[in-house]
Amino acid sequence: MRDIATPTKTKEILMKHNLQMKKSLGQNFLVDTNITDKIIRSSDINNNTGVIEIGPGIGSLTQQLAKYAKTVMAYEIDQRLLPVLEDTLQDYSNVHILNQDILKADVSADIKLYLNDVEEVIVVANLPYYITTPIIMNLLEADLPVQRYVVMMQKEVGERLVADPGSKSYGSLSIAVQYYTDVSQVMIVPKNVFMPPPNVDSIVVKLEKKSDLPDVGPIKQCFKLVRGAFNQRRKTILNNYQSVFVDGKSHKESIKEWLLEADIDPKIRGEVLTLEQYSKLNKLLNNYPELVIK
């Protein structure tokens, strides 16, 4: 079959199957083979790679993944697309389409079932924009045997993943993703390479899983402290943390002392702190039993 990721072929497939895109599922199909080629190259796929794709749509990217990978396991929530994918990917016996919601699927079990004979597992996907963050965090927190992620998403969200401390885009998502992975930008993708065009440009980012995770103390507690520091970005970290702890206002002086012990100025804002600084705060919290996170 000809490349799916072109305007002509995509229109042909949509007409053949009388298919209307669902806005509610964030369906925007890629129609530029230059973009799919760059994604494939940046993914370092070879014939011993197992690929997890999320939201294959009509198979634009899936087709290219299948050419280079040993096996592709793709999650598609929209049942209407199953016969379309069966048609468009009929030449590729190494593709398994799972009609499941990625947020509810047992991905670990599926990897054991479908990707048990590959040398490495990676995720390559044009993620549905409306659930990008939960998908990424669910996969990272599940501790799956995934070596790297090459994923396309809304530009604004991707910029948050790669953001440095002190920048406008830096936030709790930046810190969480950078705890698990080394993040880099691959390319900006203009909205006019999709059918229909979304309202915003996209970005492809690469997440390389860290071989050893940083020691930040109790991880859930650490991320609660991170999120709490960003409750209201205009507020100082001292003010934000008063709403994080039980009776925080009455423990203002203890919070101040805790921050100072970690060499953190109580007057600064949470967005200038690094993961290492939040880690230090987390480990020192045991010294202040009166500070109980809500």
Element (H, E) at 67: helix 60-68
Percentages of the chain per state (helix, strand, coil), in multiples of 5:
45, 20, 40
CB 109 within 8 A of CB 171: no
Backbone angles phi, psi at 149, to 5 degrees: -125, 130
Tell whether 92 is covered by a domain: yes
* Strand bridging mode 120-126 / 148-154: parallel
User: In Å, how far from its chain's centre is CA 229?
Assistant: 22
Tell whether 254 is covered by a domain: yes
Rounded to whole angstroms, the Cα distance separating 168 from 185 reads 17
Same domain, 184 and 266: no
Residues sharing a CB contact under 8 Å with residue 224, sequence separation 6 or more, in sequence order: 244, 293
Residue with structure tokens 């996969």? 139
pLDDT of residue 22: 66
C-alpha to C-alpha distances, 153 to 92, 119, 135, 293, nearest whole angstrom? 26, 27, 11, 33
CB 241 within 8 A of CB 228: yes
Tell me the binding residues: 28, 30, 55, 76, 101, 126
Domain end, chosen from 182, 209, 236, is at 209
Residues in the chain: 294
Tell whether 191 is covered by a domain: yes
Phi-psi region of 59 (alpha: psi -120 to 50; beta: other; left: phi over 0): left
Same domain, 88 and 203: yes
Total number of domains in the chain: 2
Structural domain boundaries enclosing 69: 7-209
pLDDT of residue 171: 95
Backbone angles phi, psi at 283, to 5 degrees: -70, -30
Tell me the binding residues for S-adenosyl-L-methionine: 28, 30, 55, 76, 101, 126
Domain end, chosen from 175, 209, 243, is at 209
pLDDT of residue 161: 97
Tell me which residues of the chain have a pLDDT lower than 70: 22-26
Token readout for 199 is 């309202």
Model pTM score: 0.93
pLDDT of residue 233: 84
Tell whether 214 is covered by a domain: no
Residue at 263: amino acid letter: D
pLDDT of residue 26: 59
Rounded to whole angstroms, the Cα distance separating 285 from 273 reads 16
pLDDT of residue 23: 60
Same domain, 154 and 246: no
Same domain, 282 and 169: no
Residues sharing a CB contact under 8 Å with residue 113, sequence separation 6 or more, in sequence order: none
